[in-house]
Amino acid sequence: MIHAYRETYLSRAQSVLGDAFHYAVNTCNISGSDFIKLFVASSVSKRMENGEPTYLAGKSGIEIVVEVVAETMDKEVNEEPQVQMGRSGEYWIGWAVAYYQWYSARKYGDIFKAATFEDLQNMYYTLHEADISKFVDIMDKRMQEFFPETNLKRIRTGYGCTQAALAKLSGVSLRSIQMYEQRNKDINKASVETVYRIAKVLGCTIEDLMEKH
């Protein structure tokens, strides 16, 4: 499986996003749902998705919140951080979601569409002491339910390209494209050349077309 970035940054990234959620909600009094909206709308979430070391390991959670709020609301955040006794539920949410984003290489915006802040709060009570793999399994199921279409179909229709046109422009047979979209063939097992041809036509990356199982 292709992960979002090198695993060496994972633990730090989880701590950073966990601290960001805790600080935003418990110190800055930003609701969890609102912070998610601000975070997803900001360039910070994209930089973390892309594995930029400065945002995964170089900044603190507080600095992440300050930047997110400044960029999206044009406001300053200067609340003094409180002493944290143990990990809060908000910390766990950021920590767990950061892990799933790394694991699945999905966009934060898509993850938070499939699981709202309230959904994640409800998961905390049963999962915060469980192995992270259980959270991954639940999120995988939610993602498949929320995004029933394959990435190929979603990107192709968003691009405004028919299956026939894609086949002609990419040189990949129409039948193959149909079977990939219907999950009768696994695009993850297709040759790199095949997926590259499709991605080139649709203006996306090979990773964008991969299915996260």
Note whether 77 and 69 are within 8 A (CB): yes
Instruction: Report the pLDDT value the prediction gives residue 40, as an integer from 0 to 100.
Output: 98
- Per residue in 124-150, pLDDT tens? 999 999 999 999 999 989 988 888 889
Of all residues in the chain, what percent carry a pLDDT higher than 70?
99
Both tokens of 26, joined, read: 């418990």
pLDDT digits (tens, 9 = 90+) for 151-162: 999 899 989 999
Q: Reply yes or no on whether the pLDDT at 85 is more than 80.
A: no
- CATH 1.10.260.40 occupies which residues in the chain? 151-209
pLDDT at 196 exceeding the cut of 70: yes
Q: Residue written as tokens 């909600």?
A: 25
Check whether 212 has a pLDDT greater than 80. Answer: no
Q: Is residue 1 pLDDT above 90, yes or no?
A: no
Tens-digit pLDDT profile for residues 101-132: 999 888 899 999 999 999 999 999 999 999 99
Give the mean pLDDT of 77-81.
89
Residue 87 binned pLDDT confidence (cut-offs 50, 70, 90): confident
**Mean per-residue pLDDT over the chain, rounded:** 93
Q: What end-to-end distance do the CA atoms of the chain give, in Å?
A: 9
Structure confidence at residue 185 (pLDDT): 87
Burial per residue of 107-139, b for 16 or more beta-carbon CB atoms within 10 angstroms, e otherwise:
bbeebbebbebeebeebbeebbeeeeeebeebb
20-32, pLDDT tens digit by residue? 999 999 999 999 9
Q: Which two tokens stand for residue 201?
A: 């036509």
Q: What is the pLDDT of residue 142?
A: 93
CATH architecture of 151-209: Orthogonal Bundle (1.10)
